[in-house]
Amino acid sequence: ALAARRASSHGPGRTADGHPVRLYVNIGGAGDAAAGTAAGAQGVGLLRTEFLFQGRQTAPTHAEHVAAYAEAFAPYAGRTVIVRTLDVGADKPLAYLDMGDEENPALGVRGLRLARRDPAFLTEQLAAIAEAAAASGAEVGVMAPMVATAYEAESFARTAREHGIARVGVMIEVPAAALCAAQILTHVDFASLGTNDLAQYTMATDRLAGELADLLDPWQPAVLQLIAASAAAGVAAGKPVGVCGEAASDPLLGLVLAGLGITSLSMAPASLADVRGTLAAHTLAQCRELAAVALAAPSAPDARAAVGRLVRERA
């Protein structure tokens, strides 16, 4: 019984009937990496790399890059680690990088767009990731933030593969990318939905605007529809489409996401146990039913309430 309990608190994510949904953690620094293994994660679904660049006056050296990635990969031998390339601009500024005068920084040169101005930002980082990955036992992939077009996905994938990185993906966090997910997926191995920015850009609501929090709710019908479209494109292409925004840490929403065809959920380590347990208590058919109920609801509170009601009835 103890072994079974340990398996259920640390095993891979599965629905009650065995459908796999991989459970990953989001990591914000090399020093946090071990928290994911302690929580029983199957890997890292989002390694944010801004920590390497923020809070300093000069760019990190190649050796500093490699050492930080090596430290982050070390606990994950034999497991997946998805490294997100630098996502600065807007809510993530850099002291030593003058972004110029941008009227709307959230709509400006941020994420992958920085590589248009200065390709070295991307290529230096990819070279260091590839070097650290080769020396680690982890299955390392990279993904680009703020991709809006299939062309950007294609050019990022080409650059990453030129650096010897085998698994290449993009984030879907701009509505355009969700709408073009099928085309985007022809160029990459996987995609991961960043629901924090996807909600911001879909709802035209600053993600830092506390008084508008109701509009940023990932249960908003428009956000759910874009998630559903992206997941369906993944199912059709036979390629993984996960979620790595805060939405993945909501156990009820996790059921809906599984029902939509999302293949992995990446979250703060503290949320893993709840999400794993809730998933294990529902079959894939039930998740699909909950997804249909959520998609049919006219508002975020209605969607959450309708799904919650069905789940409680079953318990």
8 binds, among ligand PEP, Mg ion, none (CB under 5 to 8 A by kind): none
From the list Mg ion, ligand PEP, none, partner contacted by residue 48 (C-beta under 5 to 8 A by kind): ligand PEP
Tell me the C-alpha distance between 292 and 294, whole Å: 5
Residues in contact with Mg ion by CB under 5 A are 173, 194, 197
Q: How far is the CB of 163 from ligand PEP (least distance, A)?
A: 22
Is 197 a binding residue for ligand PEP by CB under 6 A? The answer is yes
7's enclosing H/E stretch is helix 2-10
If one asks whether residue 173 binds ligand PEP (CB under 6 A), the answer comes out as yes
Contact in structure between 228 and 296 (CB atoms under 8 Å): no
CB 208 within 8 A of CB 216: no
Distance CA 174, CA 83 (A): 19
Which range touches ligand PEP (CB under 6 A), out of 126-134, 159-167, 191-199, 220-228? 191-199
Q: 46 in helix, strand or coil?
A: strand
The CA-based dihedral angle spanning residues 209, 213, 219, 223, taken in that order and rounded to the nearest 10 degrees: -20
Q: Which is nearer to ligand PEP, 94 or 284 (CB)?
A: 94
Minimum distance between the CB of residue 48 and ligand PEP, rounded to whole angstroms?
5
Letters for 69-88 (x = contact with ligand PEP by CB under 6 A, - = none) are ------------------x-
Which CB atom, from 32 or from 197, has the smaller least distance to Mg ion?
A: 197
**Binding to ligand PEP by residue 169, rule CB under 6 A?**
no
CB 262 within 8 A of CB 192: no
Q: Which does 195 bind (CB under 5 to 8 A by kind): Mg ion, ligand PEP, none?
A: ligand PEP
Residue 90 found at the interface with ligand PEP (CB under 6 A): no
Q: What angle do CA 222, 308, 174 make, to 5 degrees?
A: 25
Binding mask 27-66 for ligand PEP (x = CB under 6 A): -------------------x-x------------------
Decide if residue 244 touches ligand PEP (CB under 6 A).
Answer: yes
- Tell the residue number behind the tokens 């390709």, with chain if given: 119
Asked if 248 touches ligand PEP (CB under 6 A), the answer is: no
User: Which one of ligand PEP, Mg ion, none is in contact with 175 (Cβ closer than 5 to 8 A by kind)?
Assistant: none
Residue by residue, DSSP assigns 70-99 as HHHHGGGTTSEEEEEP---BTTB--TT---
* H or E element in which residue 201 lies: helix 195-202
What minimum distance in Å lies between the beta carbon of 192 and ligand PEP?
A: 8
**In the chain, which ranges are E strands?**
22-27, 43-48, 80-84, 139-144, 167-172, 190-193, 241-243, 264-267
Binding residues for ligand PEP, rule: CB under 6 A, are 46, 48, 87, 173, 194-197, 244-245
